């Protein structure tokens, strides 16, 4: 069986050593797309940063089909690949795309869901608000997120832009 989202969930679990939560999956898929792998998802700005309802729907379908299961905890909706689907393959992705997926997951494997929220919000602000300088992106992140993130945290996110071939 092949499915890109199930494959990404499996890789996130394998690389990080724990099942991803829905928020981390949303942000990781967004980062994968920003790194150049078109998975076909469209995002809007939501309370926790960029959000794609079609991706959320895809995980619900995977759950209904028994490919993944959700473990609802105080830390979020953890997603596990169901027994029998551990070897799920990607669907139509070439080696470079698979390598990019693994690189993004590996780079952010120790990032919290909040770190990913900040980074994806900053990237979203850069792309959709017309902010093209560090200062403008920082200011727009503060408008979007209020006092949730301080200047040092936002600076970390802005320093990550070069990974996505964005230079100020």
Cα 29 from Cα 41, distance rounded (Å)? 9
Cα 105 from Cα 109, distance rounded (Å)? 6
Walk along the chain (168 residues) and give the pLDDT tens digit of each residue.
568 999 999 999 999 999 999 999 999 999 999 999 999 999 999 989 999 999 999 999 999 999 999 998 777 789 999 999 999 999 999 999 999 999 999 999 999 999 999 999 999 999 999 999 999 999 999 999 999 999 999 999 999 999 999 999
State the CB neighbour count (10 A cutoff) for residue 113: 20
């Amino acid at each position: 069986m092949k499915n890109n989202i199930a494959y990404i969930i499996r890789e996130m679990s394998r690389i990080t050593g724990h099942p991803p939560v829905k928020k981390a999956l949303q942000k990781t898929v967004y980062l994968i797309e920003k790194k150049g792998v078109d998975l076909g998802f469209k995002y809007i700005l939501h309370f926790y940063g960029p959000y794609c309802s079609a991706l959320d729907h895809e995980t619900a379908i995977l759950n209904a089909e028994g490919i993944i299961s959700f473990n609802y905890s105080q830390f979020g909706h953890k997603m596990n690949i169901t027994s029998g689907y551990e070897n799920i393959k990607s669907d139509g992705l070439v080696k470079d795309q698979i390598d990019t997926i693994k690189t993004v997951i590996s780079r952010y494997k120790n990032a919290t869901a909040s770190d990913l929220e900040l980074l994806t919000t900053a990237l979203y602000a850069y792309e959709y608000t017309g902010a093209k300088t560090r200062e403008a992106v920082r200011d727009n992140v503060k408008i979007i997120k209020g006092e949730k993130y301080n200047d040092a945290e936002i600076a970390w996110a802005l320093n990550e832009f070069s990974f996505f071939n964005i230079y100020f």
